[in-house]
Amino acid sequence: MRLAFAFLLGVSMFAEPASPAPQAAPSATLTWTDVADLAIASPVIVRATARRVAPLSRRLAPDLPPGEIRVLMEADLVDVLKASGILPARARWLWQGPAGPRGRPPFAAGDELILFLVREAGPGGGPGADYRLANAAGQLRWTDALEREVRTILSEVRRPDAPAAIRAIANGFHVPGTVAGESESQFFLVTEDGRPMTLVVLRRPGAEPVVRLATGDLIDDSAVEIVRDTLVWRALACTMPGELPPALAADPGLRADFAEMRRRIGACNRTL
């Protein structure tokens, strides 16, 4: 579904024909990474209930592609998940996307929404200032699961040990064990904020390889398994280099364990 492009509060928008709308790329259901990206990047996140859904005429939307509809939506604020400053009780914004059955909007009054917003300076900078959706996926249908997911992500972001992006793989070593099939590799990562982060790959005879992450100076004491769909997992899956530096890649043990580690962490799954 293609989603909206503008969010305006308390502003008269339609004295003149609306300006052309940027076209959002088609997207499937958003992944956890997509939701995390939205939650982190958006200064304001709210839950709202649609109270009015009004299609715009061709005069106000002359650039509308065939099969699409552009509507003025008005909603009441239900809850604030993330914000700084005062927010109004009611909001209006434009939505554009594929029309529903018989050319009607795919949204209706009473629909519950989650909105990811960016504040834009307006006259006086007060609560009537303008907002826009953080990106084309910034308007989503509310579900209890989505709200809980967003709140969990925001809670992780606020933690003092929230992970930073990974910039490089600084070094590493591979040590064979005392029996066949036993080994350990360690990869020392360079993070954006300079805090230590080390990946450990352990192999034991007759067992699946284990990948652990240490975020302290004492690697054996702090190494834990990586949990998918967390900000730590996102940092590894989305920002860690995809290849070893040539000097490390020359070691076949490091090379094999790096490939195993990448496989177990999995793809970033970013679609936006």
Q: How many CB atoms lie within 10 A of CB 97?
A: 24
Considering the entire predicted model, what is its pTM? 0.82
162-201 in b/e form (b: 16+ CB < 10 A) is ebbebeebeebebeeeeeeeebbbbbbbbbeeeeebbbbb
> Tens digit of pLDDT for each residue in 14-59?
333 333 343 333 344 899 999 999 999 999 999 999 999 899 988 8
Q: Which amino acid is at 60?
A: L
**Mean pLDDT for the chain?**
84
E strand or H helix that includes residue 255: helix 252-265
CB-side exposure of 128: number of CA atoms within 13 Å?
6
Q: Which of 20, 26, 18, 7 is nearest to 98 (CA)?
A: 26
Q: What is the pLDDT of residue 121?
A: 58
Q: Which of 170, 221, 211, 227 is nearest to 194 (CA)?
A: 170
CATH of segment(s) 6-157 = 2.40.50.120
Chain mean position to CA 221: 31
DSSP letter at 62 equals T
> Tens digit of pLDDT for each residue in 222-268?
788 999 999 999 999 999 999 999 999 999 999 999 999 999 999 99
Domain(s) of CATH 2.40.50.120: residues in the chain: 6-157
